[in-house]
Amino acid sequence: MRLAIKKGREPAVKKRGAAVKMRKLTAIAMMLALMLAALTGCSSISDGDKKDLIVVGFSQVGSESSWRVANSESMKQALSEEEGFELIFDDAKQKQENQYKAIRMFIQQQVDYIVLAPITENGWDDVLAEARQAGIPVIIVDRQVDVSNENLYTTWVGSDFLEEGKMATEWLGQELDKRGRSGENINILHIRGTEGATAQIFRTQGLQDAVDENPNWNIVRTLDGEYTEAKAYEVTKEYLEKIRDTGEKIDVIYSENDNMTFGVLKALDEEGIEYGGEEGIIVISFDAVKSSLERCLAGDITLCVECNPLHGPRVANLIRSLEAGDVPQKKSYIIDTFFSAESITEEMIKERPY
């Protein structure tokens, strides 16, 4: 791993070495530019200073959810020119092939670092080997990669999705107890995120583990919502229509992100099915973005499990420590919490930055 980091730092160092020479040669031009900037009141970074920036190529999955939008915003803010970075941002529109293309483009551009938010865990060996070959360190963010050789990436930062699933199901056990329903048959409708994404794999595993431990809990159906409101609405609507006259009941909805939850709630509204409150379907949602917390306060969503998307400053700090020659931990898990309809307050929502 040390090798990867050392090799990877070379292009950055070379570029900045060249920039020093450039600065000397263009001192007069720069002074003129500065005078012009002062005269026009323009404070943008000059071309000379730009050469000092750390160039980062970021391959983002897409913009499928509010979480993702907040994540992209955080990355753009933390990896801004003011912070000493030049960010090349690529939105893969939920397609792994687009992520491959973006990474290959970053390699061609000889960026200093590649940051990858992978859509799923599999399929990264080849393209990451190419980045390693080019000596560019790769930082993985949010979901993880399942690679044959751990040295294919430098470090990873994100949430502990299994822990999130455990928080949700432990809370559910206690909630059913409180409602005097722990002996009842509990039917769970499972709305699954993008198959093969770490967040999906482990939130699903958290649920499955709890179902294995509680023989009276049943997953009545798993629907693929692909982390989007539109897809979750479509599949839930279809499912509700199918069970309309069968008498099949739903006690709990376990939805692997907030946007899918919104789609599900819309479908329930249209079917006239009650949810939330003390009696309705217990709705569990992941991410806990502001709009979801608002619906938690309103009693529509019973539990919001947090997943913090503000990885920008974390990634910026990892790059800074690599620049300083440090070797960061291979994996850094961040700590998340949860909010229930019972415990949420206006204040908590106000404080939420996303």
Residues numbered 159 to 218 that lie near ligand GYE (CB under 6 A) are 197, 199
Per the listing, tokens 């969503």 go with: 301
26's CB contacts (< 8 A; 6+ apart) are 48
Dist. CA 220–CA 335, nearest whole Å:
31
Instruction: Find the part of the chain contacting ligand GYE (CB under 6 A) among 30-38, 59-67, 133-141, 232-240.
Output: 59-67
Give the one residue of 120, 204, 255, 257 binding ligand GYE; rule: CB under 6 A.
Answer: 257
Angle among Cα 106, 111, 112 to the nearest 5 degrees reads 140
Shortest CB 188 distance to ligand GYE, Å:
19
- Site membership for ligand GYE, residue 155 (CB under 6 A): no
Q: Is 64 in the site for ligand GYE (CB under 6 A)?
A: yes
Q: Residue 110 or residue 354: which is nearer to ligand GYE going by CB? A: 354
**In the range 276-335, which residues lie near ligand GYE by CB under 6 A?**
286-287, 307
Distance of CA 111 to the CA centre of its chain: 23
Specify the DSSP element, H or E, that contains 155: strand 155-159
Residue choice 9, 68, 231, 295 for contact with ligand GYE (CB under 6 A): 68
Total residue length of the chain: 354
Nearer to ligand GYE, 132 or 143 (CB): 143
- DSSP for 8-46 reads HHHHHHHHHHHHHHHHHHTHHHHHHHHHHHHHHT--PPP
> Residue 149 and residue 131: Cα distance in Å, rounded?
13
- # residues near ligand GYE by CB under 6 A: 13
As a whole number of angstroms, the distance between CA 144 and CA 197 comes to 8
Distance in Å, CB of 67 to ligand GYE, minimum: 3
Of 41-49, 65-73, 123-131, 333-341: span binding ligand GYE (CB under 6 A) = 65-73
DSSP letter for each residue of 81-142: GGGTEEEEEEE-TT-HHHHHHHHHHHHHTT-SEEEE--SSSSS-HHHHHHHHHTT--EEEES
63 or 340, CB closer to ligand GYE? 63
State in angstroms the smallest separation of the CB of 31 from ligand GYE.
Answer: 47
Q: How far is the CB of 235 from ligand GYE (least distance, A)?
A: 16
Is 116 a binding residue for ligand GYE by CB under 6 A? The answer is: no
If the CB atoms of residues 64 and 251 are measured against ligand GYE, the closer one turns out to be 64
CA atoms 167, 68, 156, 132: torsion sign: positive
Least distance CB 100 / ligand GYE (angstroms) = 19
Site membership for ligand GYE, residue 65 (CB under 6 A): yes
Report if residue 142 touches ligand GYE, rule: CB under 6 A: yes
As a whole number of angstroms, the distance between CA 20 and CA 42 comes to: 24
3-state secondary structure of 191: strand
Range in contact with ligand GYE (rule: CB under 6 A) among 44-52, 61-69, 131-139, 204-212: 61-69
Q: How far is the CB of 296 from ligand GYE (least distance, A)?
A: 16
Q: How far is the CB of 314 from ligand GYE (least distance, A)?
A: 14
Give the span between the Cα atoms of 6 and 194, in whole angstroms. Answer: 35
CB of 6 vs ligand GYE, minimal distance in Å: 31
Cα atoms in the Cβ-side hemisphere of radius 13 Å centred on 327: 9
CA distance 272 to 263: 14
State in angstroms the smallest separation of the CB of 91 from ligand GYE. Answer: 13
Binding footprint of ligand GYE on the chain (CB under 6 A): 64-65, 67-68, 142-143, 197, 199, 227, 257, 286-287, 307
